[in-house]
């Protein structure tokens, strides 16, 4: 494993452990404020982070109340898993370079369950969230035992990412 590059990225990008797994650092929080059309108060219009998943680390099942755009930057392709809020249907998308036949950018719509893992030594991505990310808009599936039971029943094998 290329631990030297992973360590270099953690240090140079000032990454810290993320509650869902992997490492992150916020790179932008818009000073512009928007009012979502739901019950939330105003938010930054847009936030962005670097997000690093070394080999063996996963972004565990979670959901965000805003749209999230994932953008592959470097390293191995990233497997992004998504489940829509009202049906147990698994979408798998592989983010990577166009040269390798992958797409570099994909959206996880608001309120969809999402998880991710690197297909190699590491994957570095950026995530942009609009309206901007707030931890109050973030929910881990591990805190929802009933939903985990449904996941086990409806999409066997995916519970390993809880």
Q: Kindly report the CATH number assigned to the domain that includes residue 28.
A: 2.60.120.10
Whether residue 3 has pLDDT greater than 90 = no
Residues 84-141 have pLDDT tens digits of 998 999 999 999 999 999 999 999 999 999 999 999 999 999 999 999 999 999 999 9
Rg (CA), the chain: 16
**Which pLDDT score is estimated for 1?**
63
H or E stretch covering 28: strand 23-29
Residues 45-87 have pLDDT tens digits of 999 999 999 999 999 999 999 999 999 999 999 999 999 998 9
Q: Contact at 8 Å (CB) between 64 and 110?
A: yes
Burial degree of 102 (CB within 10 A; 0-12, 13-18, 19+):
middle
Phi, psi for residue 72 in degrees, rounded to 5 = -70, 135
Average pLDDT, the chain: 96
CA distance 28 to 8: 21
Phi, psi for residue 137 in degrees, rounded to 5 = -100, 10
For 104, half-sphere exposure in the C-beta direction (CA atoms, 13 angstrom radius) is 10
Q: State how many domains the chain has.
A: 1
Helix, strand or coil, per DSSP, at residue 37: coil
The domain of 12 spans 3-161
pTM of the prediction? 0.95
Whether residue 23 has pLDDT greater than 90 = yes
């Amino acid at each position: 494993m290329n631990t030297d590059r992973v360590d270099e990225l953690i240090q140079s990008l000032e990454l810290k452990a993320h509650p869902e797994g992997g490492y992150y650092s916020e790179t932008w929080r818009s000073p512009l404020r928007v009012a979502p059309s739901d019950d939330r108060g105003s938010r930054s219009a847009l936030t962005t982070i670097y997000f690093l998943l070394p080999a063996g680390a996963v972004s565990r099942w979670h959901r965000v109340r805003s749209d999230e755009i994932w953008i592959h930057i470097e390293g191995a392709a990233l497997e992004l898993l998504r489940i829509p809020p009202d049906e147990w249907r698994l979408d798998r998308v592989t983010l990577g370079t166009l040269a390798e036949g992958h797409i570099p950018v994909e959206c996880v719509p608001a309120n969809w369950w999402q998880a991710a893992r690197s297909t190699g030594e590491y994957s570095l991505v950026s995530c942009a969230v609009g309206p901007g990310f707030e931890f109050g808009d973030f929910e881990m599936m591990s805190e929802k035992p009933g939903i985990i039971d449904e996941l086990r029943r409806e999409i066997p094998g995916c519970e390993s990412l809880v």
